[in-house]
Amino acid sequence: MRTILVVLPFLFSVSRAGAPDDWFWQNPLPQGNDLHAVQSNGDGTAIAVGDYGTIIRTEDGGDTWTIQQSGTDLKLYGIDFCSQGVGIAVGYDGIITRSSDGGFTWTSQANPASFWLYDVSLASDCSTAVAVGPDGMIRSSDGGLSWESLVIDGTARRYAVCFGNNDVGIVVGSGGSIWRSSDRGYTWSSILLSDAGSSLSDVMFVDSTTAFAVGDDETVIRSTDAGMTWSVMNSGTVHDYQSVFGSVNGTILACGGNGDIIRSTDNGITWSDHSFEITGSVRGGVFTGPHAAVIVGTYGGPILRTINDGFTWSFAQKGRRGWFWGVSSTGENTVIAVGDSGIIYRTDDGGLHWEAQSAEIDSKLRMVSLVDSQTAFIAGANGVVLRTTDAGGQWQVQPTPTSYELGDISFTDRRNGMAVGDWGTILVTTDGGEVWRSSSAGTTRWFSGLHCTDSLNCTAVGEGGVIYRTTDWGDSWIYQTPPGSWINLYDVYFINEDIGTAVGGFGTILRTTDSGNSWVLQPTGTMRDFYGVHFVDEMNGVAVGGGFADLQVIFATTNGGETWIAQSSFTDRDLYGVTGVGEKVWTAVGGYGTIIHSTTGGATWVDDDEGIPFGLPEDFALSQNYPNPFNPTTTFEFSIRNSHFANLSVYNLLGEKVATVVDEQLSAGTHKVHWDATGQPSGVYFYRLLTNDFVQTKKLVLLR
């Protein structure tokens, strides 16, 4: 779907890189949504698109990435750029979003059709564009500002499109189908292949006459006459391929499957295998320079990077992509997340840095109870209970009288705790886990949620909506009758002995204010399953989940659950656990290594002045430099509202970085830095402030 272009990056404009009013990614980085396509927009620059309207951008060949706002939460499947900085991304339900500034800002465009769009291609003049999907094609003659439907013949599905010049374009699809246009995409004729049959997933032009297409069953085909005839090439592998792309120096790469990558340096005559195994499916790739390329994929948004023409590959995405099942915090800064294969992640700086800790165990870990900064307990599969008393420096396996999976664990202090799990399992300790005794509520249904408020009172919830409560530390249990008792309950949290909330399947949230003697069903307006819940006081709480139906996976309340409001999380990943401190600071964890964080409670309200430390900024801000115009030194002033890693760089009119003024971790407050432009020519420049939550660009003038 790509033509090899040599283009220059264009001017920068103001855009937001992740909204500071909502949730943002802490693991994996830059983000964890599935990625479906990537395209280059100049030397070292690439833009990738994916689920939930994800658009991410790199300016250094894929080493670091910034999240861009796309204006949509629909899946984006295809993207293309032309040499004038115009970009178009397409996707689910016919969504079209367009950029005219090299991918910094995006605006949705009207589409006359509502079918899904899998790919888009811009001709070299940046005027003609064609987008294709399984059920049709659309065309633009004004660079994607307006679109018209095309009349097509046949029932074959169309998967990819690419223009080789202003006039000639190729579309490929199911059953080995190929269509060709020589009139800027107005009309398309079918091209017959002698060995047709396998679906074709992608097509690209090396130059105006040479093109490659790839697909299922190790299919690699080549045309040397601008797509009029095609020859089957021997890839020497048995892989299915999703993407094909090339560099200006003649290297051709094809990729697919779980990191299957082949490489040719002789125009496709011979191929060598350079696979890099990943958990997930490779979807797209692009060269970002003469020898550098990136590949993106699904199952957590993996990003692979090469700097030697695809000969070797490394992960550009940072962090873990396995499942996290539970999370617990103490204070605003210390958080522990646990998950599959014995993974334990800990942060002591609010998530700026996460450290993997080892318990030398491979079991699935389901939940963690963080008592204080030094002491924590973890429960998981095979009856495993772990304890640390030195902030995770060492984790000890504690003997338990069960081999059933434990779904939750709750400690009220360093000595008193409980764990619950499958087949009605309940374990109790009063000596910090040195000895665990079994307790019984008289049921064999599984328990998945538990919360203890003190050394007497605990509530457990689970299969079929069961709720059991003890007031004597597990010596006896009382069954409590919830409304809708057939619905599974997955988690429970009590803010004190009386007030608690339980969550479960099909959008179920239950509330009690009388120690569980009665439970009230609270309206949520969603059919999502809720897997985790946490309250920081009687009024403020967050529930997280997944499953199916709508995209919202985070709901919050500020009035004790009378109303629950869906929060923007920038992901539709299933979330299994949530923890919070105060009204604003929250962390949620889930599938594909997801750790997301909010410092505003996930809401989009505007704070008043209460609680803001005197002298600290309320938000991010980048001021105009002074003096301006200047010669040869000037001062930059900017504010950040909490501790962040900040980058302040200066660019020329071609988009080339000419200076890095700031590139370090900074504390909250207002900062002033100076730039000496000695050696730079007179002219217009741009300076940009970038953090995880904010990006802004302004213009300055050097006048000698």
For residue 222, is pLDDT > 80?
Answer: yes
pLDDT for the residue 3: 40
What span, in angstroms and rounded, lies between the C-alpha atoms of 132 and 444?
54
Question: Is the distance from CB of 698 to CB of 626 less than 8 angstroms?
Answer: no
Torsion over CA: 480, 481, 483, 488 (sign): positive
Task: Tell me which amino acid residue 632 is.
Answer: P
Strand 396-398 and strand 406-411: the pairing is unpaired
Out of 184-198, 314-328, 370-384, 525-539, least confident range? 184-198
Class of domain 324-598: mainly beta
User: Higher confidence at residue 155 or residue 490?
Assistant: 490
Show the beta-strand stretches assigned E in 59-157.
66-68, 76-81, 87-91, 96-99, 107-109, 119-122, 129-133, 136-140, 148-149
Question: Is the distance from CB of 566 to CB of 552 less than 8 angstroms?
Answer: yes
Residue at token pair 């990819």? 160
Question: Is the distance from CB of 603 to CB of 654 less than 8 angstroms?
Answer: no
Q: Which two tokens stand for residue 280?
A: 């997930």
Q: For all residues of the chain together, what is the average pLDDT?
A: 89
What span, in angstroms and rounded, lies between the C-alpha atoms of 536 and 601?
11
Is the whole model's pTM more than 0.85, yes or no? no
- How far CA 95 is from CA of 113, 283, 426, 624, in Å, comes to 9, 19, 50, 36
Which tens digits make up the pLDDT trace of 123-169?
999 999 999 999 999 999 999 999 999 987 778 899 999 999 999 99
pLDDT for the residue 375: 97
For residue 603, is pLDDT > 80?
Answer: no
pLDDT for the residue 610: 35
Which tens digits make up the pLDDT trace of 8-60?
232 333 233 333 347 899 999 999 999 999 999 877 899 999 999 999 999 99
- Across residues 677-690, what is the average pLDDT? 88
User: Higher confidence at residue 89 or residue 152?
Assistant: 89
What span, in angstroms and rounded, lies between the C-alpha atoms of 6 and 248?
8
User: Higher confidence at residue 7 or residue 522?
Assistant: 522
pLDDT for the residue 551: 59
pLDDT for the residue 344: 97
Residue 693: pLDDT band (50, 70, 90) is low
What span, in angstroms and rounded, lies between the C-alpha atoms of 436 and 438?
7
Question: Is the distance from CB of 233 to CB of 220 less than 8 angstroms?
Answer: yes
Residue 607: pLDDT band (50, 70, 90) is very low
User: Higher confidence at residue 14 or residue 582?
Assistant: 582
For residue 509, is pLDDT > 80?
Answer: yes
Longest Cα separation, the chain? 85
- Across residues 676-683, what is the average pLDDT? 91
pLDDT for the residue 2: 43
Residue 248: pLDDT band (50, 70, 90) is confident
Architecture of domain 621-702: Sandwich (2.60)
pLDDT for the residue 602: 61
- Residue 513's SS3 state is coil
pLDDT for the residue 404: 97
Domain boundaries, the chain: 1-117, 324-598, 621-702
- Residue 431's SS3 state is coil
pLDDT for the residue 608: 33
Determine if the peptide bond prior to 30 is cis (ω within 30°): yes
User: Higher confidence at residue 430 or residue 629?
Assistant: 430
Closest CA relative to residue 309, chosen from 355, 363, 265, 362: 265
Q: Which two tokens stand for residue 12?
A: 């920068």
- Across residues 58-70, what is the average pLDDT? 90
C-alpha triplet 579, 583, 587: angle, nearest 5°? 25
Closest CA relative to residue 35, chosen from 279, 221, 241, 281: 281
Task: Tell me which amino acid residue 22 is.
Answer: D
Which tens digits make up the pLDDT trace of 530-571?
999 999 999 999 999 987 544 568 999 999 999 998 887 788
What span, in angstroms and rounded, lies between the C-alpha atoms of 511 and 258?
45
Q: Which two tokens stand for residue 393?
A: 């420096």
Which tens digits make up the pLDDT trace of 344-369?
999 999 998 999 999 999 999 999 99
